[in-house]
Every structure is written in structure tokens, then in C-alpha cells.
Chains A and B, each alone.
Chain A
């Protein structure tokens, strides 16, 4: 924060400046500080999302580990893009060929493949898949099958895999998941349906889904992190847009005054009467088919446009109360241009309430984005935001509560933190205004 200076750049006489005073008051406000720290943390996480995805969660936000239903908290899959390597070991392959006749037929595949997928693999169209047809396409064939798991690892055939049996087969980590065996299938270079130690080198290790997965088997933690990036980005950029428009509009109106002021603010009044969110909803529906990236920009603009009105009113009020002060008059006397007076003298001095309002605008915008995403109009796949994630979770929150709990909690905590921070800033910057 810049220290206030006299028009010719000389530092003001010593004393506690407004900003230092405010900073001290803010430090004392524990709720605001906690909020600030949380916001900062969330910001750092959002900015370092790529690193987190690569080195911490090891999943990308759009990689799928399909299963019959969303995987619960603590389930495992094998990351496809950033795998870690497991120790070599000898592991037998799952046998899809249930009756052991050397062919895989439709019935044997019913738990693995849809009819459509089956036809895709069955290139000769004879209703059977032979070894050649399976080839590299073995991926979906070897997916989750509890019976397979049993057949392979249940040494004493009691229908259960005991820890001892799992240990004996050195597959403890791999057990719960089909993808693990998919990777093994990939490494079975001599196609003997067994992986020898030499083939097994570099088999990826399964990783836990700390937050579970969604219905496409995408790691929810990674998606919440990525959604946080989008949500925060929407919040801050849209606020910045409203900040720019509002400041220019309000400062111009307030500084010029008279008829111009009247017309500009009457325009704002009329805009206030418009049901803005409805127009934004309409806009987003209409540009539904736009590419996801450009839709994101449209979202920034649309949400920013909703918020600039109040901002311009606040700035105008501040400017009017400042513009007849002596230092502005002095600047005008020495022939400083209107533009410079607005940019150098009025706006920096009016900054306090503007910062406060901006801080409180960010959560408002994030909430609006979440509303739009909830209606299916905001952030589009493959991107996600906390709003769109929670919207997906809300569809089946009875069966899979974690799908709404994590994104919802992330959103609520961040909004809470931003609100506390904004309130604290207001108390700190403007001690006359009592907390309301």
C-alpha cells in the first residue's frame, strides 16, 4: 500500500498513516485475520493447481476411472497421467474368459461392456472376441469384477480374500481396482495372461481418492482444487471488471458534476431497475454452445457488469466529498489536468471504501457464478467450479453425500472467509462506521 503523499511526491509528516492504522486494527481482528489466511491459502492452492495435481493428488481433473457408481472416500485407482512406480512382483491376470474356452463371449462380458462397446471390439462381427480382437483393446474387459478378484486371489476357495492370501499374492494395493489390472494387462507383453517379474517393472501404484470420485470416476479432490481455481478466478476477475467500470464511471460522474453527473447517474438508476440476473441467465442460455473457454470470458464480463452499478455509486459519493478539498483545489490551481486529478488524487484517496466493497463483491460474484453453474449455465465441462460440482452432487446427495459435501464446504468456507475479511477491512478502514 502506498503512503499518502503531497501532490509533489513528498512524504507527509511523520505520524500513523490511515493505512498503517487500518493494518494494526486488522491485525487485532482475529476473525478477519483467519479469513484472510484462508483466502490466501485458497489462492495459493488455486495458483499452484497444476503442481498439486501432478505431485500431490497425481490425478488430472478430467481423467476417468469408470466404475458402476461414484467411488467412496478412500477408494483407490491407478493414476493414468502421473503414476508412481510400484515394486516389481509377479501377479496373475484376471481371467475374463469365464468358461475357459479361449474365447470371450457376450455373456462373459455383460458386467464389463455395454452392447455398443462389445460391437466395437468385435471387429469380425462373429459375436465372439478372440485374443487378436481384444489385443490393445483389453482395457474395459479387465475392469472391476469381484468374482475375478476372488478366483485369482482366494487360494483356499472360501469365498473371501484374507489378508494373508492378499499378502501371499503381493497384490494388497491392487485388489480393489480394475484399472490396476488394466495396467498389468498393458505390461503383459508376451500375452500369456501372466506378468512375469521382468514384465512387471514400472507398474504404477494405485493412489487413494481422498474425497472419493464422481460418477465418471474422476478424483474429487483434484476436481475440487481445480473448481476452486475457476471459482476464485471468476470471483476476482469479475470483481476486477466491475471495479474498473465502476471506478471510471463513478469518478467521471462525480468529478464533472452537473448535467453530466445527472445523466450518468440516472442511467445507473435505470440499470438498477433491470432484473440483471435474468438477463445474464438469458445470455448464458443463448450462448450455451460457445466453446467452454470463451464462455468463461463471457461469464466474467456478465457478472462484472451486474456488479459495477453499486461500485460506481460508492466511487461517485467518495469523489464528490473529496473534490472540494484543498489539495484538489491546489492541484487544479497549478494546472493539473482533470484526468490526472481523477487518477492521481481522487481515486487513491477514495480507495478505502472501494477496497472494502470489492472484497465483499468477490463472495457475491462467486455465489452468483455458483447459482448459474447450478442451473447448468455457468462453467462448462471439462472445467468445473465449486458451483457446478455441488450441482452435480445435489442430484444424488442421498446416495453419494461426499459429492456435495466437499465442493459445498469448500465454497462455504471460502465465502465465509472472504466475508469475514471484508467485514474486518471495513471496520479497520472506517472506524466511524460501526459493524453492522
Chain B
């Protein structure tokens, strides 16, 4: 197990390295630079700015400098578009927002998806099953940027239950926070809820046919005990292995959700910084995203081995 984790850590670092390198050079290959504004700056000013950000050095040297800064100091340097802020500060502002959004979305995905899927699995080919699965099919087919406005229209504008115009942090109290964050999280989580429902239904169908479930039934255990004690754990296994890809998808999806709901998270910075050619900020966001992704995948895989002792990675 330890060896497996170590090996995974090594390959994760490799992945991060590839990501940093790839995005660094892709960014630099792009036409335009961070200081191409409306007005053309005087040559001396340009030279000064370039010297300050080391943009006048040869590209490999800039790369080495950047790598050194990231690896040795965990520092991405100053933002080129917002000179009074460091990339680390911008990321530190955005990350908690994105994380909360992601965690709440995952919560909704599991809260809605798991019961629906497990129940549908228990009621295979009955109307409950068809209703749940048609709903799940709709859930994976309606894009979030269509669902979001519909939810806002219904629940924020007509019923006025939620606030869709702002993002309120925890400083507005739990209620204030929920009022502004439920709709975006729900929008982000819906696709995954649908997917989780499909997976957990499949898992349940697989498990209820197992011999040990038949044995449990033969022993005369109540249906309730059979479901809670014997089938649940097995039925959610496919969902657990899906959590990694789900987190990855949510990271990408959050970029869109943050745009729809005006949420000041990482996604906004990511797209905007790429447009601005703000090299350090692009690198910072993409590294942070990748690190999150890699770490979550690792956690999910370890969790999986703990849940299912038959899986071994050695």
C-alpha cells in the first residue's frame, strides 16, 4: 500500500511537471503579451517592464527562473496584470470560493443521486425505476448553462427563495451564504447527481444478485437490514471510483458556473488571465487545478482500496 502511494506520488509530481512545462510554453508561443494595451508604450518603458519581469531573458532562462520560484519557494511571483497583488494572494482569495462551490456541488450530487439510483436499483423495471432513470438521463443531457438560468428564473426571480445576483461568503452568516450558493452548487452538481444515480443503480443491480444477499434473505433478515447492512456498501463502489473523474469534471464545470452566477472563484481568474496573457497567473491557476485534481484522484483511489479489500495495487 505504502509503495503504491509512493509510486502514485511520483507520477503525480511528473504530471504536475508536464502541466507546468506545457502551459508555460504554450502560453509563450501565443501571439501577444501581457503589456500589449490599447496604447503603445514607449520603448524605454517597455524595456523596463520586460526587465522587471525578466521577459527580456531567453525563454529557457525564464522557464528555469519560474521553475525555481515555484519549486523552491512555492511562489508564482507577481501578477502581470494586477501589479499590486501576487499570484499567491489572488489564488488564496479564489480557492476557498471554488472549493466551497465544489464541495457543495458534490454534496448535492451524492444527496440526490445516491438515493435515487439505489432506490431505482431496488425497484428495477418498475415505474419508480423508469421515473428516476428518465430524470437521470435528462440530468446528463441538459447543459448547466441552460439549467442555471432556468433555476434562477424559477427560484430566484419568481419564488424569490434565493439570491442569484451575488456571492455571499460565510461572513454573511450560514443562511446568507446558502441563499447565494445553493443555486450554483445545484446547477453544477446536477449532471453528476444524474451520473451517480445511473452508477449506483447499476451497482445495486449487481449486488442484489449476489449469493450472500440471497443467503441473507434465506436467513429471514428483514429487507431493511439486507439493504443497509449487506447491499449498500457494494452498491456504492462504482460511485466511489467515479468520484475522481467527477471532481475533475466539476473543476472544469465550475469555470462555467462561476461565469453564469458571477462567482469570484478560480475559474474566472483562469479564463481571464489567459486572455490577458498574465503568464504567472495562468500558471498559478492551472497548477492549482492540476494539484487539486491529482490529489483528489489519489485520495479516491486510496479510499477505494480501503472500502474494497479485493482491490490491491501492489
Contact = CB atoms under 8 A, between A and B. Distances in A.
Interface of A: 269-270, 273-275, 277-279, 281-283, 285-289, 363, 367, 370-371, 374-375, 377, 387, 390-391, 394, 397-398, 401, 404, 408, 411-412, 415-416, 419-420, 423, 434-436
Given A371-B252, A398-B157, A415-B140, 13 more contacts: A270-B14, A274-B18, A277-B252, A278-B251, A279-B19, A279-B23, A285-B271, A286-B29, A371-B143, A371-B253, A390-B146, A394-B148, A419-B141
A435 B121 CA distance: 10
28 contacts: A273-B11, A273-B12, A273-B293, A274-B15, A275-B248, A275-B286, A278-B290, A279-B286, A281-B255, A282-B282, A283-B26, A285-B271, A286-B29, A363-B141, A374-B143, A374-B145, A387-B145, A390-B146, A394-B149, A394-B260, A398-B153, A401-B153, A412-B142, A415-B142, A416-B138, A434-B206, A436-B198, A436-B199
Nearest to B251: A275
Contacts of B27: 282, 286
Contacts of B12: 273
Nearest to B23: A282
B22 A279 contact: yes
B256 A375 contact: yes
Interface in B1-56: 11-12, 14-15, 18-19, 22-23, 26-27, 29-31
Q: Which 4 A-B pairs have the closest CB atoms?
A: A436-B202, A408-B146, A286-B30, A285-B274
Contacts, number: 132
Given A270-B18, A371-B256, A375-B271, A275 B142 contact: no
B18 A397 contact: no
A370 B271 CA distance: 16
A273 B15 contact: yes
The residue among A374, A397, A436 with the most chain B CB atoms within 10 A of its own CB is A436
Contacts of A435: 202, 205
B137 interface: yes
B274 A419 contact: no
A274 B19 contact: yes
A419 B136 CA distance: 11
A281 B256 contact: no
A289 B205 CA distance: 51
Contact of A420 (B26, B137, B286, B293): B137
Contacts of A404: 146, 149
B195 to A, nearest CB: 10
A363 B153 CA distance: 26
Contacts of B275: 285, 288
Contacts of B199: 436
Interface in B256-287: 256, 259-260, 270-271, 274-275, 282, 286
Contacts of B15: 270, 273-274
Contacts of B205: 434-436
A408 B141 CA distance: 10
Given A279-B26, A286-B274, A404-B146, A415 B141 contact: yes
A278 B29 contact: no
Contact of B146 (A274, A275, A411): A411
A363 B30 CA distance: 30
A397 B12 CA distance: 42
A358 to B, nearest CB: 17
A367 B145 CA distance: 11
A409 to B, nearest CB: 8
Interface residues of B, number: 52
A282 B146 contact: no
Contact of B286 (A270, A278, A287, A390): A278
A306 to B, nearest CB: 10
Given A282-B274, A436-B202, A408 B143 contact: yes
Interface string B133-170: 00001101111011011000100010000000000000
B289 interface: yes
B11 A278 contact: no
A419 B137 contact: yes
Contacts of B203: 436
A36 to B, nearest CB: 15
B26 A282 contact: yes
A377 B255 CA distance: 12
Nearest to B274: A285
Contacts of A398: 153, 157
A436 B148 CA distance: 27
B181 interface: no
B143 A411 contact: yes
B145 A286 contact: no
A313 to B, nearest CB: 13
Nearest to A283: B26
Given A390-B146, A436-B205, A374 B256 contact: yes
A286 B238 CA distance: 38
A398 B252 CA distance: 26
A367 B201 CA distance: 24
B251 A269 contact: no
Contacts of B236: none
Interface in B99-158: 137-138, 140-143, 145-146, 148-149, 153, 157
B10 to A, nearest CB: 11
A285 B271 CA distance: 8
A377 B282 CA distance: 16
Contacts of B253: 371
Nearest to A423: B137
A387 B252 CA distance: 16
B294 interface: yes
A279 B252 CA distance: 11
B180 interface: no
Contact of B259 (A274, A289, A374, A411): A374
Interface string B188-229: 000000000011011101100000000000000000000000
